[in-house]
Structure 1
Amino acid sequence: MMSTRVRAPNAVQSLDVFLQDLKVGTLVRTPGDFNAFSLDPAYRAIARPPTLSLSFRSADGGLRKDPKPAAHVLPAFFANLLPEDKLREAMEKHHAGAVRQGNDFDLLAALGEDLPGAVRVVPSDGSTTIAVQDNPREIKARFSLAGVQMKLSVMKNTGKSGGLSLPIGDEQGQYIAKFPSTNLVGLSENEFAVLALSEILGMDVPERELVEKSDFEGIPEEFNTLSTGKVLLVKRFDRGPKGTRIHIEDFAQIFGRQPSKKYDDASYHDIASALNVAISTDAALEFVRRLALAALVGNGDMHLKNWSTIYPGDGCAPAIAPVYDVLSTTAYFPKDDMAFSLGGEKSFKALTLDRWRKFANRARLPEPAVISAVEEVVSLVNDHWRQLPERDVVPAAVLSKIDAKIEEMSPVLDPSHVPKPSLANP
């Protein structure tokens, strides 16, 4: 029996795209450094196919024509599967010689077996980019996580020694390890506490814990950081038992925006409207609740890639994905604003109920339900935040700023809010 031929990612010219085990299309490099994606005719022929992306669906529920070839970058859906900034630099360095710097197609070919969601891409000629076991020095980490923060897809090791390690070759990680910032003190603890607050509010939040950097084994030098402090470990909600994959996509993919445009050309009512149409009014109102929490704690980083849909079961119908990447940014950047406009305003202090009414009308959501959702979040946060055990791990200087932001924003979002003595005079 012949072994599978191993090819360097930069030598691959065509990639087959799979959703779970179903081939959905092909991605090819064309002359002049264009990248073109076409949906497979057999996939198009399926009466009710599992969803690759809402961006490929037309208004009547059918499939759109294939997107135009993209120059020097991958089509937006695939570009958003790749890491950004420092994490991308680290992965390119890790695959130096096989992946050219800044080349999307090379990097996707290298990481295609462990992408976010249920998408896999493999060379169309039947070869593989994964080094074989008899060349252990060539075996590389091949996970892809979107975003800019230094984070790794990791596995919990079984046995007496325990610990955490990177998936190598064709292994898959079940957790995302988010490493602390070198300049923003308590970032992991900040997110850990706000995730806990989100869960207390009844939101869908993945399992998480704070771990030590010393718990990790064999991190390649390219991914190691000079940062000190706790690492936030979060269970991947796009991975199920025994390595099963659950499809997800973020709103940069849904709206067809390149990662560099994740802060551009959108408003929060656009996301709410899309959720209302694609899923349900309840999903859009859950988005409102999460948005109100972001406004309360001062989270100015809820861009297109920090909101996602998930495709459980047969993968056909979307639901709103669990909460992720939530924290207070104003604890570090006091002048921060919302990532997008809400009712025409980005400034936190301008997010009065009148703005939420305008947002509701633009999103075509029932105004009373939107206002009720905002008021409910204000009430619940003020009931629970001060008693939340997880706040105790947040550095005092950061915690005091989050407390102050909640105190400042509560009457802005809900004029009827009466501060409790413990919140007004901690």
Structure 2
Amino acid sequence: MRLSIGVEFAGAYRSVGAIATKPGIGAVFSYDKEWVEGASCQPLSLSIPIGEAEYPDRVIRPYFEGLLPEEYSRSVVARELGVSSHSYLKILAALGDECIGAVLVSDEGVKGDDESLLPHYTPLDEETFESLAAREYAVSSEIAAESRLSLAGSQSKVGLYRDPVDGSWWVPRGTAPSNCIVKPNSSRFAGIVDNELFCLDVARASGISVPSAYAAPTQAPMLVVERYDRKPCPTDAPIDGHVRFRRLHQEDFCQALGMLGTEKYEESRRGYARNMADALRRYASNPIEGILRLFDLIAFNYIIGNCDAHLKNYSLVRSDDWCELSLAPAYDLVSTAAYPELTTAMGLYVGEKKRLEAVERADFIELGHSMGLSRRAAETRIDVLRDCVVAALEAQAADSADSEIVRAIAYQSKKRIEKLAVV
């Protein structure tokens, strides 16, 4: 198997390299000479730096496997495709036309004028859209397989195109980009759509960068999140009469740090937050701002009780020309603590604490210090964020007073905020 790896760069397709399977060696990745020698050359991932002739599977797997769905979502999609869920390269070859970020993967010798990759959209009728909300994994996996689309993560979700002019829904085909991620309600966790929408609204009102999101007008609840790694460019040539969106490159911190998805939770004190801060310090265009924003986001996840905030839920995003690198907006903000059956072990350690109920103000001061902040700076950030979230919770909870899950999140969050106050 040979996979061609390309990216969208400033609105145009650029070949970056290839993955080849070699007998007795396995999969190896190498950059194209033209990409390496280009004036704007940047690595596909921080874990795959420009330089070596070939990178073995153990080095490239965290990045490329990290583009795929995880856990049950991956097995459902693999079954739809008729391949093993363990064959990450085969799944990537089938789904690589539309991934998170700007990368495009093909096993057909991708070229910019390849007819099989011509971008176009097919309409999504109202009945299918409704069934997506009601049937979760079944319909989302069918759409993903048919449109060769891959979204990382373990949730049921699918990428679609919503026309910004008339609001109609379309399925991306070829290399046409989606501009929204649609998340159906969960049959297992009641009120998950209200939960995530409320947490996103509180984060936005608290000064944390988040994508726009809203509840779709479907009979079964469904969340629509506008993709921050897609940028509308009305001046570019339209696709089938639709406004063209450019892809922005991104990678999550599992990919950036060269870690597999199975390592996304910090099971022992390995310094995940410190390692993320170190990556921002070395590579971000504005390291100080990035580290402060990361600290705020970790604290916010604690406040709302998001124990599923792991390394794959924090990301880096590049500018259109790949010259700037910054912490991506927050996503997958959900209060898992609102569901008593779920663990209270957090995705990351805060100081020496892992359990949500054990964390206190001093632990965040220690966390900030480990990330390179002075203790005074960490205290100031906690105080400012705490005040902002208190105000945001009151305002947003008042707007959703009839939602039981929202009332529970607001009540629990205020209790955790109290633990962040000066003693």
Alignment TM-score, normalising by the size of structure 1? 0.80
Cα distance in 2, alignment partners of residues 17 and 260 from structure 1:
24
CA distance in 2, matches of 1:67, 1:257: 15
2:400 matched residue in structure 1: 392
Q: Which range is displaced more, 32-41 or 337-346? A: 32-41
Q: Which residue of 1 aligns with 2:185?
A: 180
Q: Is the 8 A contact 2:369 2:378 kept in 1?
A: no
Q: Which of the residues 404, 411, 417 maps onto 2:411?
A: 404
Aligned match of 2:98: 114
Q: Which has the higher strand share?
A: 2
| Partner in structure 2 of residue 22 of structure 1 | 14
Cα separation, 1, equivalents of 2:165 and 2:410: 42
- Please give the alpha-carbon distance, in whole angstroms, between the structure 2 residues aligned to 1:213 and 1:40: 46
Distance 1:125 1:18, change over 3 A: closer
Higher mean C-alpha displacement, 285-294 vs 384-393: 384-393
**Which residue is 1:419 aligned to?**
none
Contact 1:27 1:35 in 2 (8 A): yes
- Greater mean deviation of Cα atoms: 364-373 or 166-175: 166-175
Change (3 A) 1:126 1:295: closer
Deviations 1:260-292 (A, max 9, x none): 221145522222232233221111011111111
SS in structure 1 of the partner of residue 345 of structure 2: coil
1:225 maps to: none
Distance in 2, matches of 1:266 and 1:249, equals 19
Partner deviation per Cα, 1:15-68 (whole Å, 9 max, x = no partner):
1211222222111123358221112233233354134211123xxxx6456432
Q: Among residues 94, 113, 121, which one is paired with 2:80 in the alignment? A: 94
* Whole-angstrom CA distance in 2 between matches of 1:108 and 1:93: 14
Task: Give the structure 1 partner of residue 137 of structure 2.
Answer: none
Which residue is equivalent to 2:260? 258
Deviates more, 1:21-30 or 1:194-203: 21-30
Going from structure 1 to structure 2, the CA distance change for 1:366 and 1:278 (only over 3 Å counts) comes to farther
Q: 1:373 aligns with which of 374, 381, 392?
A: 381
Runs of at least 5 residues in structure 2 that lack an aligned partner in the other structure: 123-141, 233-243
- Structure 1 pair 65–378 and aligned structure 2 pair: CA distance change class (3 A): farther
User: Identical aligned pairs, as a percentage?
Assistant: 25
Q: Which moved more, 1:273-282 or 1:187-196?
A: 273-282
Residue 122 of structure 1 deviates from its aligned partner by 2.2
**1:103 positional shift:** 1.2
Q: 2: distance between equivalents of 1:274 and 1:132? A: 37
| Residue 3 (structure 1) aligns with | none
Contact (CA 8 Å) 1:140, 1:169: kept in 2 or not? no
Alignment of 1:334-353 (within 5 A): 335-353=343-361
Tell me the residue number matched to 2:63: 77
The worse-fitting range, judged by mean Cα deviation, of 123-132 and 182-191 is 123-132
Partners of 1:404 and 1:25 lie apart in 2 by: 51
Which of 334, 351, 372 is equivalent to 1:327?
Answer: 334
Aligned equivalent of 2:156:
150
**Deviations, residues 323-381 of structure 1 (Å, cap 9, x unaligned):** 11012110013651221111121122333232223222322222222211111111111
Partners of 2:212 and 2:226 within 8 A in 1: yes
1:8 counterpart residue number: none
Question: What does 1:141-220 align with in structure 2 at a 5 Å threshold?
Answer: 141-156=147-162, 163-213=168-218
Match of residue 54 from structure 1? 46
Whether the 8 Å contact between 2:295 and 2:368 is mirrored in structure 1 is no
Which deviations, in whole Å up to 9, do the C-alpha atoms of 1:118-170 show, x marking residues without a partner? 1112235459795999xx9999221110001000101225898x653432444
**Aligned residue in 1 for 2:107:** 123
**Hey, what's the Cα distance between the residues in 2 that align with 1:48 and 1:206?**
28
Opposite residue 115 of structure 1, the aligned amino acid is: C
Letter in structure 1 aligned against 2:265: Y
With 252-261 and 100-109 compared, the bigger mean Cα shift is at: 100-109
**Residues 181-228 of structure 1 deviation map (CA, whole Å, 9 limit, x = unaligned):** 1110011110101101111112222111101445xxxxxxxxxxxxxx
2:278 alignment partner, one of 255, 260, 273: 273
Q: Is the 8 A contact 2:307 2:343 kept in 1?
A: no
Deviations 1:243-264 (A, max 9, x none): 3111111001001111222114
- Matched position secondary structure for 2:373: coil
RMSD: 2.9
Q: SS at 1:78's partner residue?
A: helix
The Cα shift of 1:117 comes to 0.7
- Whether 2:238 is the aligned partner of 1:238: answer no
**Whole-angstrom distance in 2 between the partners of 1:172 and 1:345:** 41
2:312 match: 305
CA distance in 2, matches of 1:342, 1:158: 41
**One-letter amino acid of the counterpart of residue 198, structure 1:** A
TM-score by length of 2: 0.81
The residue correspondences of 1:37-52 to structure 2 (distance < 5 A) are: 37-46=29-38, 48-52=40-44
Q: Distance in 2 between matches of 1:302 and 1:41?
A: 38
Structure 1 residues 390 and 163: CA distance shift in structure 2, 3 A: farther
